[in-house]
């Protein structure tokens, strides 16, 4: 069973290592893909894609038309997103930029999680070490206690013999 599992694990690692990319870099972006990465500016707090699907909204309609026009002009996804950011500011992007101050949005949760993991591991290691030391002392105390009780019993038995 273990050998079989080891083989499966190895196969899995090889599969994941050779995992193919799902989208090509040269694929033209779709309207929905870009609308899903832009926040509607009507104040609904939803992406352009969601806002357009759920309610009549002239703002999202205009933004979708603008996306369609720019795709028609052959612009890339990043160029289109950049164009919207230059008009509305960074608040139009559903994904904060991975540079400057906005990088903190991405990094902080994982930094906090990593710091927590390190702290917990260190604490558990420390407790486990202290616990092991305590149990050694307890074992030593128990054995000397046990030895003393045996000595007492021997003394009592010898006294009875006398």
Give residues in contact with another protein (CB under 8 A).
1-2, 5, 8-9, 11-12, 15-16, 19-20, 22, 32, 36-37, 39, 43-47, 49-50, 52-56, 89-97, 101-102, 104-106, 108-110, 112-113, 116-117, 120-121, 123-125, 127-128, 130-132
Q: How far is the CB of 109 from another protein (least distance, A)?
A: 4
Contact yes or no for 64/31 (Cβ under 8 A): yes
Cα distance between residue 38 and residue 86, in whole Å: 13
Cα distance between residue 19 and residue 41, in whole Å: 38
Of 113 and 154, CB closest to another protein: 113
Nearest to 67 by CA among 38, 88, 97: 38
Contact yes or no for 94/105 (Cβ under 8 A): no
Q: How far is the CB of 75 from another protein (least distance, A)?
A: 20
Q: How far is the CB of 143 from another protein (least distance, A)?
A: 21
Of 95 and 142, CB closest to another protein: 95
Of 74 and 101, CB closest to another protein: 101
In sequence order, the β-bridge partners of residue 14 are: none
Q: How crowded is residue 80: how many other Cβ atoms within 10 Å of its Cβ?
A: 21
Is the four-CA dihedral 99, 100, 106, 112 of positive or negative sign?
positive
Contact yes or no for 39/93 (Cβ under 8 A): yes
Q: How far is the CB of 54 from another protein (least distance, A)?
A: 5
Q: How far is the CB of 149 from another protein (least distance, A)?
A: 27
Of 32 and 148, CB closest to another protein: 32
Of 34 and 70, CB closest to another protein: 34
């Amino acid at each position: 069973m273990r050998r079989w599992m080891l083989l499966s694990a190895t196969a899995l690692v090889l599969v994941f290592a050779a995992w193919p990319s799902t989208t090509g870099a040269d694929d033209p972006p779709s309207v929905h893909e870009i609308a899903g990465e832009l926040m509607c500016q009507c104040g609904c707090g939803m992406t352009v894609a969601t806002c357009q699907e759920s309610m009549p909204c002239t703002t999202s309609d205009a933004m979708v038309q603008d996306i369609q026009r720019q795709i028609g002009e052959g612009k890339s996804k990043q160029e289109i997103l950049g164009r919207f950011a230059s008009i509305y500011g960074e608040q139009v992007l559903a994904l904060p930029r991975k540079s400057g101050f906005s990088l903190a949005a991405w990094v902080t949760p994982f930094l906090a999680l990593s710091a927590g993991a390190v702290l917990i591991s260190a604490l558990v290691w420390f407790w486990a070490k202290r616990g092991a030391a305590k149990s050694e002392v307890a074992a030593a105390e128990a054995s000397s206690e046990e030895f003393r009780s045996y000595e007492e019993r021997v003394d009592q038995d010898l006294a009875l013999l006398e």
